[in-house]
Amino acid sequence: MLVVVGGHSRNVGKTSVVCEIITGIPEARWQAIKITQHGHNFCSIDGHPCDCAPGDASHPFVIDEQPDADRTDSGRYIAAGARRSFWLRTAKGELGHAVPTLKTLLAGAGHTIVESNSVMRFFTPDLYIVVLDYGVDDMKDSTRLYFDRADAFVVNAAGRSTPPWPGIPRRWLEDKPRFAADPPRYGGPELIAFVRSRMASCAPVLTRCSEEAS
Predicted confidence at residue 190, as pLDDT, reads 96
Domain spanning 2-213 has what CATH number?
Answer: 3.40.50
- Judge whether residue 153 has pLDDT over 70: yes
CA 97, distance to chain mean position in Å, is: 18
Burial of 191: CB neighbours in 10 Å, binned 0-12, 13-18, 19+: buried
Domain map (residue ranges) of the chain: 2-213
- Report the half-sphere exposure of 132 (CA within 13 A, side-chain side): 26
Q: In what order do the strands lie in the sheet with 31-38?
A: 61-65, 84-91, 31-38, 112-115, 2-7, 127-133, 152-156, 178-182, 185-186
- Of 34-43, 59-68, 98-107, the poorest mean pLDDT is in 34-43
Residue 51 has pLDDT above 70, yes or no: no
Query: Is 70 exceeded by the pLDDT of residue 145?
Result: yes
- Which residue has better confidence, 23 or 174? 23
pTM of the prediction?
0.85
